[in-house]
Copies of this chain bind each other. A is one copy, B any other.
Amino acid sequence: MTNHNRPPTLEQIARAAGVSRSTVSRVVNNEPYVRTEVRERVWEVVDEMGYHPNAAARSLASRRSQILGIVIPRAVNNVFVDPFFPALLQGLSDAASERGYHLMLSMLSHPSEEEAFYRRALRSQMLDGLIISSAALDDPLIPRLLKGGFPFVTIGRHPNQPAASYVDVDNMQGARMAVEHLVNQGRRRIATITGPLETMVGVDRLEGYKAALRAAGAPIENELIARGEFTEPSGYAAMQRLLRAKPDAVFAGSDLMAMGALRALRQARLRTPEDVALIGFEDAQIAASAEPPLTTVRQPVYRLGTTAIDLLLRLVEDEERGPFRAILPTSLVIRASCGA
Contacts and interface: CB of A to CB of B under 8 A. Distances in A.
Interface of A: 7, 52-60, 65, 67, 70, 74, 79-81, 83, 85-87, 89-90, 93-94, 97, 100, 102-107, 109, 113, 116, 119-121, 123-126, 231-233, 236, 259-260, 263, 266, 284-286, 289, 291
Given A232-B286, A232-B289, A285-B232, A89 B60 contact: no
Copy count, this protein chain: 2
A125 B86 contact: no
B55 A126 contact: yes
B105 A289 contact: no
B59 A56 contact: yes
Nearest to A50: B123
A106 to B, nearest CB: 7
B81 A102 contact: no
A67 B103 CA distance: 11
Nearest to A119: B52
Contacts of A79: 86, 90
Nearest to A102: B104
A125 to B, nearest CB: 6
Contact of A80 (B67, B83, B121, B260): B83
Contact of A260 (B55, B124, B126, B289): B289
A263 B285 contact: no
A65 B60 contact: no
Contacts of A90: 74, 79-80, 107, 109
Contact of A104 (B103, B263, B285, B291): B103
A102 to B, nearest CB: 6
A83 B286 CA distance: 12
17 contacts: A7-B125, A54-B124, A58-B124, A67-B104, A74-B90, A79-B86, A80-B83, A80-B285, A81-B285, A86-B86, A89-B105, A93-B105, A93-B107, A94-B109, A103-B105, A104-B104, A231-B285
Nearest to A103: B105
Nearest to A61: B56
Nearest to A65: B56
Point out which of A7, A124, A266 has the most chain B C-beta atoms below 10 A from its C-beta. A124
A94 B81 contact: no
Contacts of A97: 106, 113, 116
